[in-house]
A and B are shown apart, each in its own frame.
Chain A
């Protein structure tokens, strides 16, 4: 049977294109630092299928894309963390190590399989102080981005990230950070998702033992403040650093020769 020739570049580009399209179809998930830790927000009407999860004492996980694919990643991450924590000690489990495991798996699937995983994930670890907080964003090809303060994955992530940057202040209290995240997730002029349509969790550094806590029901209702009357948000925080890298790598796909991290 004649086999049409396709160059490796073309194959990789097609795979990346396919994965990028799949990820952009869903809704965005926002991970953002606040005063006491890290906040994870996902518009998700399902009560059973989670996009946000606990991995270990200090480590949380957020994902977008195909549920079955990121659920496998989530479970593997929990297993990885639990085995390491059991084998060594609980504080020997780090987000950095986990991000590396994920990166190698995602990268391997991207190069070896017919189809890349249509997922984008965030691995976040809350530290003792806010400058020890870590947010890693991983794309379908195994690239790792060490994000500063906030990360947006999935959907129209660039526009959401731009809106988030306008509202986000480092060190904001929980309610303000949640407000900024919800504003970013809402289209201009659109209606904000209600508490029932949201999946919200925090990694709160002040909690004992396990830092991960889901916020739902009345607790979440109280936190969701009604959007303030049309006051232009003060865009007075340009010192937030350089523009975050785009969610899905644009242009040339990552071949592993120039790791972005």
Chain B
């Protein structure tokens, strides 16, 4: 077939392992991220950055939410960017840091999980998935040193414990398992402070959706790189709920109803709900 690309030559002979990235490395390494020449100068803040993501466990699962803003220095480069990605039926990841590199990583990671599942006929364990993402982050270390930093957050429903699990990373890899909740990105300090006070043990997924939206609101309140709910354009955070029923991204109506609840509360008390003192 004249139109066949070069990488198709050994499709049937080079049988390799069940890892998509390993396969691609031998096959078409130019398609892999992180395979670039060293940049002449660090890119710094010239390319867009994605910001705050929060993940919180709930009864029988986990909820992840991300704001929609991408910034380049002091500029808002995107108002409705999506930074929470479904990676398979029972997991998702969010990205903070360089947006383009992060999107690429999420895309590759999604194929990686699915590829393994299709070839092996079973899904990777939750730990296996988290470890695999750590390799991706570590492979990006060289680029990170030049300013293309990506730090993901990974959340999954683990059927062994019938509940949600959350894994964090740093530029060198990871994973670090976080119980209860975790947040990443420039607004993560404020989001975490908020989560610390608003987290309730065994809360239902619906309640936790409010918790994550409150945390994102608090992050946007104090961090200029995190976008709050955009009422005029009706741009709300992306919220994903993962339970035994699988991954579900909340439809616009549901998020909008939850956001309106929060906004009406904040009209009376701009700092949001208060935690009891004792």
Residues of A within 8 A of B (CB): 48, 50, 53-55, 72-73, 75-76, 78-80, 82-83, 85-87, 100-101, 104-105, 209-210
Contact = CB atoms under 8 A, between A and B. Distances in A.
Given A50-B121, A55-B118, A101-B8, 20 more contacts: A72-B12, A72-B15, A75-B15, A76-B12, A78-B115, A78-B118, A78-B119, A79-B23, A79-B115, A82-B118, A83-B7, A83-B24, A83-B27, A85-B111, A87-B28, A100-B1, A101-B1, A104-B1, A209-B89, A210-B114
A76 B152 CA distance: 31
Nearest to A54: B118
Contact of B111 (A72, A86, A101): A86
Contacts of B89: 209-210
B195 to A, nearest CB: 29
Contacts of B114: 82, 210
A54 B116 CA distance: 12
Contacts of B115: 78-79, 82
A53 B12 CA distance: 17
A169 B27 CA distance: 45
Most buried by B among A53, A55, A86: A86
B86 A83 contact: no
Tell me what chain B mostly uses at the interface: helix, strand, loop, or mixed: helix
19 contacts: A72-B15, A73-B12, A75-B15, A78-B115, A78-B119, A79-B115, A80-B8, A82-B111, A83-B23, A83-B27, A83-B28, A85-B111, A86-B20, A86-B31, A86-B107, A86-B108, A101-B4, A105-B11, A105-B12
Contacts of B12: 72-73, 76, 105
A144 to B, nearest CB: 13
Interface string B118-138: 110100000000000000000
A209 B88 CA distance: 9
Contacts of B121: 48, 50
A54 to B, nearest CB: 5
A72 B23 CA distance: 15
B247 to A, nearest CB: 8
Nearest to B11: A76
A48 B107 CA distance: 29
Interface in B181-232: none
A87 B31 contact: yes
Interface string B231-266: 000000000000000000000000000000000000
B180 to A, nearest CB: 29
Nearest to A109: B12
B108 A53 contact: no
Contacts of B118: 53-55, 78, 82
Nearest to A56: B118
A94 B139 CA distance: 31
Given A80-B8, A86-B108, A86-B111, A75 B119 contact: yes
A132 B7 CA distance: 30
Nearest to A103: B1
Contacts of A101: 1, 4, 8, 11
Interface string B97-119: 00000000001100100110011
Contacts of B1: 100-101, 104
A50 B23 CA distance: 22
Contacts of B86: 209
Nearest to A48: B121
Contacts of A76: 11-12
B108 to A, nearest CB: 7
A83 B111 CA distance: 9
Contacts of A50: 121
* 9 closest A-B pairs by CB: A76-B11, A76-B12, A86-B111, A78-B118, A104-B1, A82-B115, A82-B111, A54-B118, A105-B12
Contacts of B111: 82, 85-86
A169 to B, nearest CB: 32
Interface hub of B28, B31, B86, B118 (most chain A Cβ within 10 A)? B118
B18 to A, nearest CB: 9
Interface in B112-170: 114-115, 118-119, 121
Contacts of B4: 101, 104
Interface in B1-15: 1, 4, 7-8, 11-12, 15
A87 B31 CA distance: 7
B119 to A, nearest CB: 6
A102 to B, nearest CB: 10
A115 B11 CA distance: 20
| Highest count of chain B CB atoms <10 Å: which of A53, A79, A85, A210 | A79
Which one of A53, A73, A82 has the greatest number of beta carbons of chain B within 10 Å?
A82
A83 B89 CA distance: 20
A80 B118 CA distance: 13
